[in-house]
Structure 1
Amino acid sequence: MTYYLKAEKFLLENEEKMGGYLFIKDGKFGSFVSQIPEGATVVDYSGYTIAPGLFDTHIHGIKGHDIMDGEVEAINEISKTLLSLGVTRFLPTTLTSLKDDLDRAIIAIREAVENGLPGAQSEGIFLEGPYFTELHKGAQNSSYFRDPDVEEFQYWQQLADGSIKKIAIAPERQGVFDFIRKVTEEGVLVSIAHTNASFECCKEAVDAGARNYVHLFNGMTGLHHRTPGVVGAALVDDRAFAELICDGFHVHPDVSALALRIKDDKLILITDCMQAGLMPDGNYHLGEFSVVMKDGVAKLESGSLAGSTLKLIDGVKNLQEWSSESLYKIWHLGSLTPAVSLGKDTQLGSISPGKIADYVVLNNQFEVQATAVAGEVKYQK
């Protein structure tokens, strides 16, 4: 499939371009040009913006479906739904749960991917837990918390056919640093989450190979000027990425803008979305927990936040408004930076020659008009 995209604006990897044409060949991006050969096939999106497909590296579910349902159909429905939101890549994300439930979820993800996902494509599994601690448990079931176990992880990795690409742990657990070194060597992104660790403990975890902080400010010790805690460690260490949920509920808008100024291109926009996303207010579940959504905010019966109902494109829009930075810069925090964090930026995350041609067509109201995966338009409004 060979064609040229015509649009008003293009968010390329290193710059914005007005007008012109973008070459697509065999599912990959080619060069951006001002003129095209006579007789070339043109897909005309005049008046619209072409941006790279978004990449949600932390999502539990959406539109009534949950990864922990452990069903191939749930994975497929999440995959299809994400296209309408401009997301072309994602990491299906599990929760701390019974071993049998985790096994079933991993198998369902593997089978869905093997059969071919109909929409957004999985770039691997994110195991959120079960190696956490009690104090900042959030919507994780603490009855299953335990110390990290390499053999247990390798069992899950084998079950996943090697597709686990990210795992979150609390670095104060016993045996963590050896665990980090081992799984990092195997190409897994170790992330810090749901933890009461000290600043020093977090630094030691990053020294061992951890390179990401999950949902910054949430599920962790806060920042104090004498005891910087997990938040302080995340903000000051340039080696590590930090995820941010920009829904205005999990983190105050001005604090989100501050995090952007500090972390810059090491900030990853995520949703942490659960099954209530795109659904009306009411009763839902996140793993084993009952969740009530009111005014779009999902909470446990205890009142704790339970994931989010955020659309990643809205997170981009929110942070762009809160920070007054360019759309070009903020958009890449939801596309390119996630790819960089997983070592996939040579293939994904931005519009650059040779990369997979995942792109989104946006109107002036920031609404998704079309979404393409590997050059094929799979969603059209």
Structure 2
Amino acid sequence: MRFENVLVVDPIDGEFVGRVKIEGNVISKVERITGTMEYEGIIMPGFVDPHTHGSVGVDALSMNEKGLRKWEEFLYSQGVTYFLPTTMSSTPSAVLSAARTVKDYLDDNPETSVGGVHYEGPYLSLKRKGAQNPELIRRINLEEIEETLIEPVRLITIAPELERFSQAQDLIQKRNITVSLGHTDASFDDMERAYNQGCDRITHFPNGMNTLHHRDLGCVGAVLSLPFSVEMIMDGIHSLPGFVKLVYDIKGASKIMIVTDTIDATAMPDGEYELGGQKVILKNGRPRLEDGTIAAAVLVFSEAVRNFKTFTNCSLKELARVSSFNALSSLKIEDRGRLSRGYKADLVLLNEDLQVKQTVLGGRTVFKY
């Protein structure tokens, strides 16, 4: 496979007109074309969504392999070549069932965009629960963590102020699983302690955490002043465009990861859905619990990418970082996320308006418009 006369966008080398050659499932050559600024399409590393609870009627906690395939194929249309099905706070048996479904799927599908599982909860702050089910949020149980950390788990969101957090963080990190801080009412000191112990990642910043005050820096102050990397839901609702721009100006593109936080109602009609055992009402494209709480999102990833570009006026090189490279780096994945020789051939071809025209997974076209 070969792409000729395209604008190559790499998160490290930047933007240039060139050609990309693929052999097997890897990029074999990237060449610059000199003497021209004209090109036919923009090629970037495939998009990465490490925080998504579902789409097209499929939910991470209740899915089977058929549903997971449907979800994966939908995400190809959005340029996504790597994602983590994300569970809500639930019982040990429920999250284990989701993880086992993913494990079986990975065993049956060696070339897939499914990268593993993200456990969002259940060890979270009740005060900052957001749309998490309060009946299923609980104290840290180290034995339960040991039981549920099976092979496909790649990422766990947890609140750092909870008793036994340090032991849990150490246990999780020793399994080479990434810890992310979220749904937390932590103090600045709690956040700093977690950072110093090796956690440098924040779940859907600034949602689900206490806010900044000039006499109490709290979570938001810690995130802005320490070198944390942050997920951000790029729908203009969870964070207004001006706040996204503020975070971009303070932390820079190297510390931001676009996520969708989507639920099963994504790409579905208005109606009633479920999230973590709670009823969700989707009306006019906005999902809410019965009490009015925002219930995650129905944002598609390609729109999130376009939104970030609009909100920040970032470069395409920076866009490649926030949509792919940074999230992979946070998961310690080093063989994809770049347009460079030897990297896995996970690519997305876009038009000038950043609409997805073609998605390539492991050197194979999986979507074409």
Flag whether TM exceeds 0.5 (same fold): yes
In 1, the alpha carbon distance for the partners of 2:337 and 2:76 equals: 15
Match of 2:36 in 1: none
1:116 aligns with 2:89: no
Residue identity in the other structure for 1:9 = L
In 1, the alpha carbon distance for the partners of 2:88 and 2:5 equals: 41
Task: Answer yes or no: is the 8 Å Cα contact 1:133–1:142 preserved in 2.
Answer: no
Report 1 or 2 for greater relative contact order, CA contacts < 8 Å, sequence distance ≥ 6. Answer: 2
Residue identity in the other structure for 1:134 = L
In 1, the alpha carbon distance for the partners of 2:139 and 2:127 equals: 15
In 1, the alpha carbon distance for the partners of 2:328 and 2:243 equals: 24
Match of 1:207 in 2: 196
In 2, the alpha carbon distance for the partners of 1:297 and 1:34 equals: 44
In 1, the alpha carbon distance for the partners of 2:367 and 2:198 equals: 38
In 2, the alpha carbon distance for the partners of 1:327 and 1:34 equals: 17
1:126 aligns with 2:114: no
In 1, the alpha carbon distance for the partners of 2:353 and 2:316 equals: 13
TM-score under structure 1 normalisation? 0.91
Task: Answer yes or no: is the 8 Å Cα contact 1:172–1:197 preserved in 2.
Answer: yes
Match of 2:40 in 1: 47
Match of 2:323 in 1: 334
Residue identity in the other structure for 2:122 = P
Match of 2:282 among 280, 293, 308: 293
Specify the SS of the correspondent of 2:258.
Answer: strand
In 2, the alpha carbon distance for the partners of 1:33 and 1:168 equals: 40
In 2, the alpha carbon distance for the partners of 1:364 and 1:324 equals: 15
Task: Answer yes or no: is the 8 Å Cα contact 1:242–1:263 preserved in 2.
Answer: no
Residue identity in the other structure for 2:313 = S
Task: Answer yes or no: is the 8 Å Cα contact 1:70–1:104 preserved in 2.
Answer: no
* RMSD over aligned Cα atoms: 1.7
**Post-superposition CA distance 1:269-304 (Å, at most 9, x none):** 100011111112222111211111122211111111
Match of 1:23 among 10, 21, 24: 21
Q: Report how far residue 110 of structure 1 moved.
A: 1.4
TM-score under structure 2 normalisation? 0.94
Match of 1:306 among 268, 292, 295: 295
Match of 2:69 in 1: 76
In 2, the alpha carbon distance for the partners of 1:252 and 1:78 equals: 28
Q: Report how far residue 320 of structure 1 moved.
A: 1.0
Match of 1:347 in 2: 335
Distance 1:32-1:132 versus aligned 2 partners, 3 A rule: same
Q: Report how far residue 357 of structure 1 moved.
A: 0.5
In 2, the alpha carbon distance for the partners of 1:142 and 1:253 equals: 30
Match of 2:238 among 246, 250, 258: 250
Match of 1:369 among 357, 366, 369: 357
Specify the SS of the correspondent of 1:321.
Answer: helix
Structure 1 spans left out of the alignment, 5+ residues: 36-45
Q: Report how far residue 21 of structure 1 moved.
A: 1.3
Match of 2:135 in 1: 143
Task: Answer yes or no: is the 8 Å Cα contact 1:7–1:49 preserved in 2.
Answer: no
Q: How does 1:161-240 map to 2 (within 5 A)?
A: 162-238=151-227, 240=228
Q: Report how far residue 244 of structure 1 moved.
A: 0.3
In 1, the alpha carbon distance for the partners of 2:48 and 2:235 equals: 17
Q: Report how far residue 4 of structure 1 moved.
A: 2.4
In 1, the alpha carbon distance for the partners of 2:257 and 2:17 equals: 29
* Percent of aligned pairs sharing the same letter: 30
Structure 2 spans left out of the alignment, 5+ residues: 34-38
Specify the SS of the correspondent of 2:232.
Answer: strand
Residue identity in the other structure for 2:124 = F
Distance 1:294-1:177 versus aligned 2 partners, 3 A rule: same
Match of 1:43 in 2: none
Q: Report how far residue 62 of structure 1 moved.
A: 0.5
Match of 2:50 in 1: 57
Segments ≥4 residues shifted beyond 6 Å: none
Specify the SS of the correspondent of 2:309.
Answer: helix
Task: Answer yes or no: is the 8 Å Cα contact 2:9–2:16 preserved in 1.
Answer: no
Task: Answer yes or no: is the 8 Å Cα contact 2:160–2:181 preserved in 1.
Answer: yes
Match of 1:11 among 5, 9, 12: 9
Distance 1:370-1:198 versus aligned 2 partners, 3 A rule: same
**Post-superposition CA distance 1:41-98 (Å, at most 9, x none):** xxxxx62111110010101101111111142222111111110000000011111012
Task: Answer yes or no: is the 8 Å Cα contact 2:19–2:32 preserved in 1.
Answer: yes
Task: Answer yes or no: is the 8 Å Cα contact 1:70–1:107 preserved in 2.
Answer: no
- State how many pairs are aligned: 364
In 2, the alpha carbon distance for the partners of 1:70 and 1:23 equals: 37
Q: Report how far residue 17 of structure 1 moved.
A: 4.3
Match of 2:256 in 1: 267
Match of 2:30 in 1: 32
1:85 aligns with 2:68: no
